[in-house]
Structure 1
Amino acid sequence: MQVESAYLQVMDWSDLPIFLAIARTGQLTKAAHALEIDATTAGRRLRRLERSLGERLFEQGPDGQSLTPAGERLLTQARAMERAAAAIGSRDAGGPVRGTIRASVSEGFGTWFVSRHLGELAEAHPGLAVDLVATSGFLNPTRRETDVAVLLARPRRGPLLTRKLADYGLRLYASRAYLAAHKPVVTPDQLREHRLIGYVPDIIYAPELRYLDEIPGAPEPQLRSSSINAQYRMTTAGAGIAVLPCFIGDADRKLARVIPDIRIRRSFWLVTHEETRHFPHVAAFAGWLAALAARHRTELEG
């Protein structure tokens, strides 16, 4: 412990954010982008930090940088310092919320729900910048790749705080034009007479997306995409029948529910890292999102 205290005294403290960013993202280029500096500068400052400590902090692997034992030790101390700094900065509880929040959400939820309401968050917190990462897949809150994540399943491990954000419903939808031009579909067995739209089976990134497995008699989708937005576009274009979240399908008057008795239920889980959940900007965003989901419960559940 004396050795660690000694080398913390001789290092340049301004290099610690570089170290933390690389530890969280696992890649020097991503860390540089997050800190809005170039990768060459980030690499030079990391090497300077390693020279001052006399130890290597990362090993280079095929997927990026991974912490060495010395890096793990420094990470524990750096996180403690970060928490202390955040506590000092948040003592004025009545002050404005400032900072950048990164939120990782599913593509459909981010595109069709969260993004519609971000203006109200910006009005309430003018000093808060939001990076909304809405993709097919999620950033990892355990590795601190994101401040807040909305996941399709509750994480089973990791230093995380998890709570249910909302339940949401999914139904079968088709365009009204498609239904007018094709055979009636009243029962699940009749789905075999229609084109189904769905995910690419072997690259589904979460088992919760295997919706068609829950519909008796449903055939494999003929038109497939890893993107729920692409599936929606195919459906509105009259290409076939798809399972869509109700907050997407019900929002488009060109679409109609098919076999209304079939309803699939899923949940969104709000996840933050236990070390940062009390940071003012993280708490502000998580609280706003929870309140937003509660207000729009009917829309989400369909």
Structure 2
Amino acid sequence: MTQTDPSATVSAMDWDNLRVFLAAVHAGNYSAAAKRLRIDRTTVGRKLDRLERQLGVRLFEQGAEGYHPTAAGRRALEIADAMERLTEGLAGELRDEASQPMDRLRIAVAAELETELMPDIAAFAAAADRPVQVSIQSTADPAESVVQRKSDIGLCLTDHRPDHLRGRRIGTLRQAPYASRAYLARHGDGRPAAAYDWVRCSGWSRLPAMRRWDAALGDDVGVAALVDSWPALRRAVELDVGVAYLWTFIADRLPHLAAVAPVEDSLGADLWILVRDDVPMDRPTRAFMEDMTTRLDRLICPESAPTPP
């Protein structure tokens, strides 16, 4: 019979047969192994015969003091011991995880910011000390969602902190009119902003920031397109459709866009992280508050943000 390395055929082995082999070696004989495994001695012998056929080697040999593992049997024993330790370790890890329920955090985000803040929210979840499941609600009024207990924490655009909420003001987000450089190359760079065609907010949009931006435009400006969401607004500008007000902290980082007029200070909006003032913050909410304050400081005011530890 050709001898083969048992490690090369582990994938073909039945783990139950290998478990019986381990018990037989540790117990010293078939009868003791059968008692330890609570099966009959015949079943032990049958499983060991099947294992030897699978491996193509003899695992036991008879000596002066009874049966002992062969060289191949000792190698199989090493592998089986390692597999048993890994199996027990995996079971222990899974039990530990099951004993610590996953944290859950409901986050309401101003719809004008959701796509821009998503990378930082995802980074928070990935870096959390223990697993956290985040549920994200994109809404025109995240503060109201927190007040109504539909969300645990809100990333809100508001000029003042609403009643019944507490939290931190991150900073003021600014707007300016932008166009793609390709659009400006076609239509002439350096013209007054009102001379271009604009991507405007459609009348059915419920987003307060976009409605404010649109109200700043005169009725006589040309209209290239109407949209009702921030992603559509940004994408229309990037696709050379026309000019639109965009967040400066985003547009200034995009080399294919250029401002066509200075920042409009009157259109600024404060970004807050807010929770209910009558609900103690739990561990995931507090961790999100601390982590996102640092991340958003770096995103919105990179020159003044503290260096992370």
Give the TM-score band, short-chain normalised: 0.5 to 0.7
Gaps of 5+ in 2: 1-99, 305-309
Q: CA deviation at 1:221?
A: 4.6
Q: 1:155 to 1:298 in 2, by over 3 A?
A: closer
Q: 1:135 to 1:143 in 2, by over 3 A?
A: closer
Q: CA deviation at 1:274?
A: 2.2
Aligned to 1:278: 281
Aligned to 1:140: 145
Aligned to 2:39: none
Aligned to 1:176: 181
For 2:135 and 2:303, how far apart are their aligned partners in 1? 23
| 1:130-189, Cα deviation, whole Å (9 max, x unpaired) | 1122345536111100001112113543x321431221121111111100001344434x
- Provide the secondary structure at the position in 2 that maps to 1:296: helix
Identity %: 19
Question: Normalising by structure 1, what TM-score?
Answer: 0.58
Whether the aligned pair in 2 keeps the contact of 1:108 and 1:228 (CA below 8 Å) is yes
1:201 partner letter: G
Aligned with 1:150 (options 149, 152, 155): 155
Q: 1:182 to 1:114 in 2, by over 3 A?
A: same
| 1:172-226, Cα deviation, whole Å (9 max, x unpaired) | 11111100001344434xx1x3211122235333267412434678737542211
Aligned residues: 202
Aligned to 1:46: none
Aligned to 1:119: 123
| 1:58-97, Cα deviation, whole Å (9 max, x unpaired) | xxxxxxxxxxxxxxxxxxxxxxxxxxxxxxxxxxxxxx99
Aligned to 1:129: 133
For 2:171 and 2:301, how far apart are their aligned partners in 1? 10
Whether the aligned pair in 1 keeps the contact of 2:124 and 2:291 (CA below 8 Å) is no
For 1:208 and 1:226, how far apart are their aligned partners in 2? 8
- Provide the secondary structure at the position in 2 that maps to 1:140: helix
Whether the aligned pair in 1 keeps the contact of 2:174 and 2:263 (CA below 8 Å) is no
- Given the alignment of the two structures, is residue 161 of structure 1 paired with residue 166 of structure 2, yes or no? yes
For 2:303 and 2:243, how far apart are their aligned partners in 1? 20
Gaps of 5+ in 1: 1-95
Whether the aligned pair in 2 keeps the contact of 1:196 and 1:240 (CA below 8 Å) is yes
Aligned to 1:110: 114
RMSD: 3.0
Q: 1:284 to 1:257 in 2, by over 3 A?
A: same
For 2:272 and 2:102, how far apart are their aligned partners in 1? 25
- Provide the secondary structure at the position in 2 that maps to 1:126: coil
Q: 1:262 to 1:100 in 2, by over 3 A?
A: same
Aligned to 2:206: 204
Aligned to 1:251: 253
Q: Give structure 1 regions of 4+ aligned residues with deviation exceeding 6 angstroms.
A: none
The residue correspondences of 1:1-302 to structure 2 (distance < 5 A) are 99-116=103-120, 118-138=122-142, 140-153=145-158, 154-157=160-163, 159-188=164-193, 191=194, 193-206=195-208, 209-214=211-216, 219=221, 221-260=223-262, 262=264, 264-298=267-301
1:195 partner letter: D
Question: Normalising by structure 2, what TM-score?
Answer: 0.57
